[in-house]
Amino acid sequence: QKEVEQNSGPLSVPEGAIASLNCTYSDRVSQSFFWYRQYSGKSPELIMSIYSNGDKEDGRFTAQLNKASQYVSLLIRDSQPSDSATYLCAVNEGNTGGFKTIFGAGTRLFVKA
């Protein structure tokens, strides 16, 4: 069974701090990686996608991918109370894995004002 694992949290950080969210995946053929944010009672929305090893930055968000270690992370700098949500890691296996998308169970983040 292919898996995507996340620490369920909750992760609590003070306002202005860096929040670090981690995700590991079991399938080496995975090709596409995504971070989604989901507010309570709402639909997921994309924060970041990453496809190659290294860092990808977008505003206060940085995604990091290490395919050798099967690890992808999301850093949120200058965390704000509005960042409080559940963060979902997702992996797609592409044509080597049948095009399925697998989500982790999510990490709940609380940013304290």
Residues 82-101 that bind other proteins (CB under 8 A): 88, 90, 92, 94, 98-101
Nearest approach, Cβ of residue 30 and other proteins (Å):
10
- DSSP category for residue 60: T
Q: How many CB atoms lie within 10 A of CB 42?
A: 10
Half-sphere exposure of 20 (CA within 13 A, CB side): 2
Q: Show the binding pattern over residues 19-58: x = contacts other proteins (CB under 8 A), - = does not.
A: ------------xx-x-x------xxxx--x-x-------
**CA quadruple 60, 65, 70, 72: dihedral, nearest 10:** 10
Footprint on this chain of other proteins (rule: CB under 8 A): 8, 31-32, 34, 36, 43-46, 49, 51, 88, 90, 92, 94, 98-106
